[in-house]
Structure 1
Amino acid sequence: MLKAAAIFPGQGSGYSGMLSCIRKAPITDEVFGRIMHVAKRDILDAAEGHAAYGLNDPVVSQLAVFGASASYWHMLRNKENFQYIAGHSLGFYAALYASGAVSLEDCAGIIMNVQKAIESVSGNKSGLMASIMGLRTEQVEEICSQLDGVHVSNINSITQTVISGWKDAVRTACSLALEDGALAVKELAIANPLHSPLMNGIEDVISHDVALLEIREPKVPVMSHIDSSPLDAEGIARVLSMQLTKKVRWSDTVKAIRQEGINRFIEVGPSDVLSRLVRWIERDAESLRAEELVPCQTS
C-alpha cells in the first residue's frame, strides 16, 4: 500500500450540505453527537443547512468542518497507509484528533475557547482575511509593508497568499495587489485578523487552556503548519498556543512531507481546497479528496 499523508482543511472549506455524502453513516452521528455534547448546540443541523444560525456563526462553522473531517477520518484511516498528518489552520485540531494526540471532546472544547479568545483580543475592530492570487509572496509582503494593520498570514503556494488584518487595510492591500498585477483577490468569510501579529496577546489566554489539555504523543507524525517540523506532545502544545499569531506556511509543510518520501496526499474533509493546492505545490504528487475515496451513503 502506498504511503500517504492525511491533510485536514481549515474553516474556509465548510459549506451548507457538506455532509450530504456521509450523513447516513453511523460514524457521522457518533462524531457529531460527541461534539454537540460539548458545544450544547446543534452543529449537525447547521452543517446540513437546516439550523437558523447556520454556518455564519464562527464557532458553528468551525465545529462543523472539524466534525466533517473527523467523520471522514474514521472512514479512511484503515483504508490508507497514513505516514504523516498535517492540518491547515483550523485543520490542525482534526489532525491532532486523527493522530491520537488530543481527544475529540478536548479538540471541540479548545476550538470554542479559542474563538472566545479571538473575539476578546479583536474587541470591536472589524477584521478581514483575503486571498491574493497571481503574485509571489514577496510582492504581497512588500504591499503589506506599506500599510498599517495588514500582514501576510498564509503562504499557500508560490502564487497564492492570504493576508490578514483590519478590514480597511486589507481592502486597500487588495486594491494595490490588483494594480500590481494580481490575477484575482477574494475576501474570506473570516472576520478576524488570524495568523498575524495583530493577534498578539492571545497566546497567554490560549496557553492557559492548553495547559489543561491531556496531550499524548501522536501515533502518526504530525507536521507543523507553522515551521514544517514533526511535532511531539510538547511541540503540539507550543503550536496550539502560538498558531494564531504566526503565518501558516502551507507550501513549506507540503514540501516537507514530500521530502519524507510521501507522494500521495489525501484531503480529509469537505471540499477540495487543499488537494488543489497540493497540485500547485508538488506537481508530481498524487492529490485526492475524501469524497473520491468514501462511497456516498444516501440511504
Structure 2
Amino acid sequence: MGKIAFVFSGQGAQYPGMGQSLCEASAAAKAVFDMADSLRPGTSKQCFSGTAEELSVTKNTQPCLYCVDLAAARALEERGVHADYVAGFSLGEVAAAAFAGVFTDESGFKFVCRRAEAMQKAAVENPGSMAAVLKLSNEKVEELCGSFSKVWPVNYNCPGQLVVAGEPGQLKEFQELVKAEGGRAAPLAVSGGFHSPFMESAAGELAGYLSTVETGEPRLPLYANLNAKPYTAASARELLVNQVKSPVRWQETIESLAAEGVDTFLECGPGKTLCGLIKKTVKTAKVLQVQDQETLKAALSGLM
C-alpha cells in the first residue's frame, strides 16, 4: 500500500444522529465532543438528537460537522491508523487544520463557531444560491458564468462536476443556459452563496478574529482549498480567511495528493460525498469512509 490521506467532510453531509455511535466506540472521539460541549453546551446533543432542520442552520451545521469530522480522524488514529497527508472540503478544512496541529482542538472549534456565524450573517446580507453543474467542461461552465455579473464557479469537485454560486434570479437564468448547452444544473439545499464574493464580509470578520489566534506549523502536509498546495505556518491565516470567499479546488487537491503517492483516502465525517468525488477523479484509488462504529470497523478491515 502507498500513502494514506485523511479527507474531512464538508457542509451538506450532516444528518440527525451523526457521531453518536462513533462517540460510544471511541474514547478519543468522545473527547472531541466533550471539548465541544465545554465550549458550546449542547453541541453533542444537536449532533445526536437534533432535527435535520436544526442541523441545516449554518451556525449549527459547522460546529457539529467539525466535531464528527475530527472525532472520526481521532478514532482512526486511536486504532493505529496514521495519515501521511490531510485535506478537508470547505468546512472540513478547519477540522483538517486542527488534526494537523495548525489549531488546537479547542481553538479550531472556537474558530469554526465564529466562521459559522460570520458566514450565516453574510448569507443573510447577500442572499445567494448554489447549483451543481454536470456534463459540461469546467471551461464551458466558466464561460457561461462570465455572462452574469453575480454567478461564479466555486467548487471544482471532480471531472464533469463544478458547483456555482450566485444571486438567485441570475442563477435561475444560468441554469437555463446550462440546459441549452446540453448540461444539467442541480440546485443545492444550502443557505447561501458560499465560496463566492458574497462571503467578502465574512472573510473580513474572520481576518480580524484570526489575527488574535495562535496557529502552529502543520505536523503533516495539509492541502489548502484555495490553491491545492500544502500549508505553511505563515500562510495558515491567509488561507483560512480567503477560503470562505474563494473556490474550493478539490479535484486539483486530490490529483496533487495522488501525484505524491497517495493511493488510499479515508473520508472522516458524515456521509460519503468525498468518496464519490475521489473515485471520479482517481479511478484507481482505494476510498474508505468513517462516520460511525460500523464504518470504523469496515475501514480498519479494508486497510488490512
Give the structure 1 partner of residue 259 of structure 2: 259
**Residue 204 of structure 1: how far off its partner (Å):** 2.7
- 1:109-148 equivalences in 2 (<5 Å): 109-148=110-149
Amino acid at match of 1:83: D
Say whether 1:149 aligns with 2:150.
Answer: yes
Q: Which amino acid in structure 2 is aligned with residue 162 of structure 1?
A: V
Distance change in 2, residues 1:282/1:107 (3 Å): same
Are 1:133 and 1:161, in contact at CA under 8 Å, matched by a contact in 2? yes
2:105 maps to: 104
Alignment of 1:34-45 (within 5 A): 34-40=35-41, 42-45=42-45
Q: Is the 8 A contact 2:4 2:84 kept in 1?
A: yes
Is 2:281 aligned against 1:288?
Answer: no
What letter corresponds to residue 289 of structure 2 in structure 1? Answer: R
Q: In structure 2, what is the equivalent of residue 203 of structure 1? A: 203
Tell me which residue corresponds to 1:243. Answer: 243
Q: What are structure 1's unaligned runs of at least 5 residues?
A: none
Aligned residues of 1:46 and 1:53 also touching (Cα < 8 A): no
Conserved in 1, the CA contact under 8 Å of 2:4 and 2:83? yes
Q: What is the root-mean-square deviation of aligned Cα atoms in Å?
A: 2.1
Name the stretch that deviates more: 257-266 or 12-21. 12-21
**How far off is 1:147 after superposition?**
1.6
Are the aligned partners of 1:59 and 1:111 in contact in 2 as well (CA < 8 Å)? Answer: no
Contact 1:3/1:81, CA 8 A, preserved across alignment: no
Letter in structure 2 aligned against 1:145? G
**2:248 alignment partner, SS class:** coil
How far is 1:87 from its partner? Answer: 0.7
Runs of 4+ in 1 over 3 A off after TM superposition: 26-29, 49-53, 119-125
Summarize the alignment of residues 1-299 of structure 1 with structure 2, pairs less than 5 Å apart.
Answer: 2-25=2-25, 26-40=27-41, 42-50=42-50, 54-78=54-78, 79-182=80-183, 184-291=184-291, 294-295=296-297
TM-superposed deviation, 1:259: 0.9
Q: Percent sequence identity over matched residues?
A: 25
1:122, distance to aligned residue in structure 2 (A): 4.0
**Within 2, Cα distance between the matches of 1:145 and 1:205?**
28
CA distance in 2, matches of 1:17, 1:135: 36
Q: Deviations over 1:164-208 (max 9, x none)?
A: 1222222222232122222x4332232222111232343332111
Alpha-carbon separation, structure 1, partners of 2:93 and 2:210? 14
Cα separation, 2, equivalents of 1:52 and 1:65: 13
Listed one character per residue, the Cα deviations across residues 55-77 of structure 1 (whole Å, up to 9, x for unaligned) are 13212111111111111111112
Give the length in aligned residue pairs: 294
- 2:205 is matched by which residue type in structure 1? V
Structure 2: where are the runs of 5+ without partners? 299-304
User: Do the aligned residues in 1 keep the contact of 2:2 with 2:261 (CA within 8 Å)?
Assistant: no
Query: 3-state SS of the aligned residue for 1:153?
Result: strand
- Normalization by structure 2: what TM-score? 0.89
Q: Distance in 2 between matches of 1:190 and 1:52?
A: 13
TM-score (norm 1): 0.91
Deviations 1:204-246 (A, max 9, x none): 3211111111211111110112111111111111111111121
| Structure-1 separation of matches of 2:202 and 2:56 | 23
